Amino acid sequence: MLESLGPLTGSPWIYAVVAISVLLDVFLPVLPSGVLVITAATAAAAGSTTVGTVAGAAGQVPREVPSLLVLVLCAATASVLGDLVAYRLARRGGRRFDRAIAKSRRLTSAQDRLGTALNRGGGILVVIARFAPAGRSVVSLGAGAAHRKVKEFLPWSAVAGVAWAGYSVGLGYFGGQWLGASWFGAAVSVMALFGAGALAAYVMRRRPVPAPEAA
């Protein structure tokens, strides 16, 4: 896998591809944004482990590898921007969007949970949802449809974006360091990301909805 994506991971275009994928997967959760982030970080691990050997060879120059810091910043920023776009679209969607929300038990439940959680300072739900499959979409759209204030939602979205980006990059990099920068190391890192997503989805399902406070 790393060999097939080598030209991309060795060029600055990898940041643009990652950013676009992360930005759009709030609307298209099937996009492999997490896999791209992990692959780029694994490529960085591959470069760091071979740089000494390559640099020592006569007439050879170390190939460029993605910067971990820039990768985290790109993924986190794109995540927050995507959340904000989804939030704005849902907030301005009007009655038609409200009816669509009402037809979905998942969106309605998420909207209720999120509203109560944010009111009580429990915006950690936004962070948990970022790791769950389609959880980011549900929470961002639910926050907009419920007309939550930006100052209630955006800070938690930023925390969620940084946490998810840092976790994904860390998986790819340390997986490449410990297991080798190969398809096996990348696959184990991707499985760890999916495992975190499954755990997040379980927590979201099991998290009780507090009773609303009396006016």
Please spell the DSSP secondary structure of 94-109, one letter per residue: HHHHHHHHHH-HHHHH
Give the per-residue pLDDT at 176. Answer: 82
Cα–Cα distance measured from residue 26 to residue 29, given in angstroms and rounded to the nearest whole number:
6
Q: Quick one: pLDDT band at residue 214, thresholds 50, 70, 90?
A: very low
Cα–Cα distances in angstroms (integers) from residue 117 to residues 25, 90, 203, in the given order: 24, 19, 14
* pLDDT > 70 fraction of the chain, expressed in percent and rounded: 67
Q: Quick one: pLDDT band at residue 79, thresholds 50, 70, 90?
A: very high
Tokens coding 25: 């997967």
Give the per-residue pLDDT at 209. Answer: 41
Task: Give per-residue pLDDT as tens, 111-120.
Answer: 566 556 555 5
For residue 53, count CB atoms less than 10 angstroms from its CB and return exposed for 0-12, middle for 13-18, buried for 19 or more: exposed
Tokens coding 160: 């969620």
Task: Give per-residue pLDDT as tens, 40-66.
Answer: 888 887 775 554 444 444 444 445 667
